[in-house]
Amino acid sequence: MNGTRISTGAALVVGALAATGLAFAPAALAVTPDTATINADCGMFGSGEATLTATQDGTAATVTVTSAISAPLALSEDSITSTLTFVNANGGTTTFTGTENPAIAAGDPVTVGPLDGTVASGDSLESYGGSLQIVVFGITVTCTATGPQAPGPFVFD
């Protein structure tokens, strides 16, 4: 009986310590919203709605863009070099870069990312005033937002 009380007491202490550890564990970082849309103008390459999806892990963040332009030819995986520039409400700009893209069939929307960038807590990033530049087959295409992103800028924890 005495061994049972010790085991029960030890289990209660371990459980209390675990609960205390959870209470003081750092919260997971998140970007809000995690998805936004923009109307983009890509010059002679087209225009329309684009979707941006953001993630955050500490100061590292990624953004994936499904653009408003369609691929004129089939594009192989990781064949596009991309630079996405946001206006930071805290001043200046924040850039995300990368060479990642899925294989894209001719006529399908061009998707790039995840593009990598660095953020600080409280950064508020808006695509309106920034740009997406993609380079494929040596041709540079620059897309700009024609208005603010909806539902609003990406705010990082």
**21 phi, psi to nearest 5 deg:** -60, -40
Please determine, for residue 4, whether its predicted confidence score (pLDDT) is greater than 50: no
Please determine, for residue 8, whether its predicted confidence score (pLDDT) is greater than 90: no
**Biggest distance spanned by C-alpha atoms of the chain:** 83
Residue 58, classed as helix, strand or coil, is coil
CB atoms near residue 107 (< 10 Å): 10
Q: Residues 122-151: pLDDT tens digits?
A: 999 999 999 999 999 999 999 999 999 999
Which pLDDT score is estimated for 19? 37
**Cis peptide preceding 109, ω within 30 of 0:** no
- Per the CB < 8 A criterion, the answer to whether 54 and 63 are in contact is yes
Spatial neighbors of 70 by CB under 8 A, at least 6 apart, are 46, 107, 108, 109, 110
C-alpha torsion angle, residues 30, 53, 141, 40 (rounded to 10): -110
| Residue for token pair 């660095």 | 118
The helix (run of H) or strand (run of E) holding residue 96 is strand 93-98
d(CA 86, CA 66): 16
Which pLDDT score is estimated for 17? 34
Which pLDDT score is estimated for 25? 40
Distance of CA 22 to the CA centre of its chain: 27
Q: Which domains does the chain have, with CATH numbers?
A: 31-147 (2.60.40)
| Residue for token pair 């049972």 | 4
Please determine, for residue 5, whether its predicted confidence score (pLDDT) is greater than 60: no
- Rounded to two decimals, the pTM is 0.81
